[in-house]
Amino acid sequence: MRHFAVVGSGPAGFYTAEALEKAYGDQARIDILDRYPVPYGLIRFGVAPDHQSLKAVSKRYDKVAESAGVDFIGNVTVGRDISVAELLDLYDAVILAIGAPHDRKLGIPGEDLPGVVGSAEFVGWYNGHPEFADLDPPLDGTHAAVIGNGNVALDCARILSKTHHEFEGSDIVGHALDALDGSGITTITILGRRGPHQIAMTPKELGELGHLEAASPIVDGADFPPPEADEALEPGHRKSITILRGFAGTPADDSKPKRMVFDFFAKPVRIEGNGKAQTIVVERTELDEKGAARGTGETYEVPASLIISAIGYSTPPVEGVPYDERGGKFLNENGKIGDRLYAVGWARRGPTGTIGTNRPDGYEVAELVAADMPPGSSSERAGASGLKQLLATRGVMPTDYDDWRKIEETEVARARPGSPREKFVRVEHWLETLGR
Ligand SMILES: Cc1cc2nc3c(=O)[nH]c(=O)nc-3n(C[C@H](O)[C@H](O)[C@H](O)COP(=O)(O)OP(=O)(O)OC[C@H]3O[C@@H](n4cnc5c(N)ncnc54)[C@H](O)[C@@H]3O)c2cc1C
């Protein structure tokens, strides 16, 4: 028998567990650990609440959790409740799938002013992440800005621009829906250091902006290279650019009170305000020979009392695990960190790719594990029983699959009309549900 610990129950953790189960069958026990009593990582706390069809991927993960060789052990934070070295004593292999939950810093003056928030915080706030339940982003101004040109920036801008009615069927958390109902924001500027060709936004997410009830996308046609330049683009990307060009060719709909303004070639240089964010000073850029943004020296001001930076994420370092400071992830070679220690998903490759990208990643890492300790081989490690004994001596109470189900059922049972669930937003609330 082999015992494997997969740390993190997001997509990467679940795909790895699925692959390990396929490779080892009843020759292994696989424990998926998570710091929270409920699983799914960014499927629960990141993917937008108005994108329910994407969240349905969790049904596949449920099947993995229900399979005979796999257990969920929640409410255990690795690096705090138990170290990686201790896990390696208890398990044959430890696979770190802890994602990249920290916002990258802008590195400009004024970014610590009230009103400036990272996208992990903002997204966590509207998705019911316990750490960000109290964020209270300022929504009383008229102007907001989102810094970044990826899908996360689009998610933030779209959530700010939607009406109450448009959240029907979503699982946006109640406190965010109430706050957004009272929002005064009418202009959301999306700032990108480079041009339309350099965006990392996908067609589906961009296309949605053309159908918003209360907001029009505004794009300046002068920002685009000549149309022939689109021919060299990869088809999906070309589609995104075609959608953007379509927005540029469509006048703003005056019957809609909100504007989502794409400001390309705009590099934030500082944030100013009297005790809180009021303005971003932006430098106009152009592309250099290598396609990087080069400042032109011309600056201007973008008003914004809420500023969301959506410029990427990093994995937090964990004691005893080699760390790649520049990449903001664990130092690893194709998923291998060291003897019996592996990384997968965003913790392995950094914060890029879709949910599906984590599948081949998980399968690849499971193959590495199987090559290092072939199915059929065995060891005398204690696995889950040893883990639980150790945690008990530390007063840590892990949760299991039944606890997770009880929490989910309770959330669904207390859902508002039109919402699939009403999420618990504090760890204490989860534990209360379990009678602890
Ligand atoms: C805002 C946002 C929106 C997105 N929307 C989409 C989308 O619409 N479509 C799409 O395809 N992709 C989307 N993605 C990307 C997708 O979410 C990621 O590709 C995927 O979640 C990465 O999986 P992961 O398992 O590596 O990390 P995560 O999903 O972050 O999972 C990490 C898990 O590890 C746990 N953990 C962290 N630290 C510890 C610790 N110390 N001890 C124990 N457990 C720990 C966490 O609680 C979490 O459950 C989005 C990403 C973001 C940020």
Nearest residue by C-alpha to atom 2 in ligand 1: 46
Nearest residue by C-alpha to atom 13 in ligand 1: 354
**Nearest C-alpha neighbor of 263 from the set 202, 217, 226:** 217
Segment 141-148 mean pLDDT: 98
Residue 90, exposed/middle/buried by CB under 10 A (0-12, 13-18, 19+)?
A: buried
Nearest residue by C-alpha to atom 53 in ligand 1: 46
The ligand 1 atom at the shortest distance from the C-alpha of residue 42 is: 29
pLDDT tens column, 150-199: 999 999 999 999 999 999 999 999 999 999 999 999 999 999 999 999 99
β-sheet with 70-73: strand ranges across: 70-73, 28-33, 2-7, 93-96, 341-343, 336-338
CA distance 400 to 344: 23
Mutation probe of ligand 1 site: the residue of 31, 122, 355 with most atoms within 8 A of C-beta = 355
Helix, strand, coil percent content, the chain, rounded in steps of 5? 35, 20, 40
pLDDT over threshold 90, residue 17:
yes
Tokens of 303: 């008003």
* Cα 49 to ligand 1 centroid, rounded to whole Å: 14
User: Which residues lie across from 74 on neighbouring strands?
Assistant: 399
* Cα 350 to ligand 1 centroid, rounded to whole Å: 11
What's the pLDDT score for residue 328?
A: 97
Segment 135-140 mean pLDDT: 97
CA distance 211 to 324: 42
Average pLDDT score over the chain? 96
pLDDT tens column, 245-301: 999 999 989 999 999 999 999 999 999 999 999 999 999 999 999 999 999 999 999
Q: What residue ranges line ligand 1, CB within 6 angstroms?
A: 7-13, 33-36, 41-42, 46-47, 51, 54, 77-79, 97-99, 123, 152, 155, 345-347, 353-355, 358
Residue 372, exposed/middle/buried by CB under 10 A (0-12, 13-18, 19+)?
A: middle
* Cα 358 to ligand 1 centroid, rounded to whole Å: 10
pLDDT tens column, 203-242: 999 999 999 999 999 999 999 999 999 999 999 999 999 9
* Cα 40 to ligand 1 centroid, rounded to whole Å: 8
pLDDT tens column, 74-132: 999 999 999 999 999 999 999 999 999 999 999 999 999 999 999 999 999 999 999 99
pLDDT tens column, 304-339: 999 999 999 999 999 999 999 999 999 999 999 999
**Nearest C-alpha neighbor of 259 from the set 206, 214, 304:** 214
Nearest residue by C-alpha to atom 50 in ligand 1: 47
Q: What is the pTM of this model?
A: 0.96
CA distances from 117 to 15, 136, 169, 284 (A): 31, 10, 27, 23
Residue with tokens 């695990």: 321
* Cα 220 to ligand 1 centroid, rounded to whole Å: 34
* Cα 296 to ligand 1 centroid, rounded to whole Å: 37
CA distances from 286 to 14, 218, 282 (A): 42, 20, 13
Mutation probe of ligand 1 site: the residue of 7, 36, 47 with most atoms within 8 A of C-beta = 47
What's the pLDDT score for residue 118?
A: 98
* Cα 94 to ligand 1 centroid, rounded to whole Å: 18
Nearest residue by C-alpha to atom 17 in ligand 1: 42
The ligand 1 atom at the shortest distance from the C-alpha of residue 347 is: 26
What's the pLDDT score for residue 435?
A: 87
**Nearest C-alpha neighbor of 318 from the set 132, 15, 107, 99:** 99
**Nearest C-alpha neighbor of 46 from the set 84, 92, 109, 100:** 100
The ligand 1 atom at the shortest distance from the C-alpha of residue 98 is: 34
The ligand 1 atom at the shortest distance from the C-alpha of residue 51 is: 8
Q: Is the dihedral of CA 194, 195, 199, 201 positive or negative?
A: positive
Q: What is the DSSP letter of 268?
A: E
Q: Tell which phi-psi region holds residue 431, choosing left (phi > 0), alpha (psi between -120 and 50) or beta.
A: alpha
Q: Is the dihedral of CA 348, 350, 355, 356 positive or negative?
A: negative
DSSP secondary structure string for all residues of 195-216: -GGG-B--HHHHHHGGG-SSEE
Nearest residue by C-alpha to atom 4 in ligand 1: 47
| Residues in CB range of 285: below 8 A, 6 or more apart | 193, 194, 265, 266, 267, 293, 294, 295, 296
* Cα 42 to ligand 1 centroid, rounded to whole Å: 3
* Cα 356 to ligand 1 centroid, rounded to whole Å: 12
Strands (DSSP E) contained in 273-375 are 279-287, 293-303, 306-309, 313-314, 323-324, 329-330, 336-338, 341-343
The ligand 1 atom at the shortest distance from the C-alpha of residue 344 is: 26
pLDDT over threshold 90, residue 436:
no
Q: What are phi and psi of 401, to 5 degrees?
A: -60, -45
pLDDT over threshold 90, residue 427:
no
- What percent of the chain has pLDDT above 90? 96
* Cα 99 to ligand 1 centroid, rounded to whole Å: 5
Q: What are phi and psi of 263, to 5 degrees?
A: -110, 100
What's the pLDDT score for residue 84?
A: 98
The ligand 1 atom at the shortest distance from the C-alpha of residue 11 is: 25
Nearest residue by C-alpha to atom 51 in ligand 1: 46
* Cα 43 to ligand 1 centroid, rounded to whole Å: 6
* Cα 394 to ligand 1 centroid, rounded to whole Å: 28
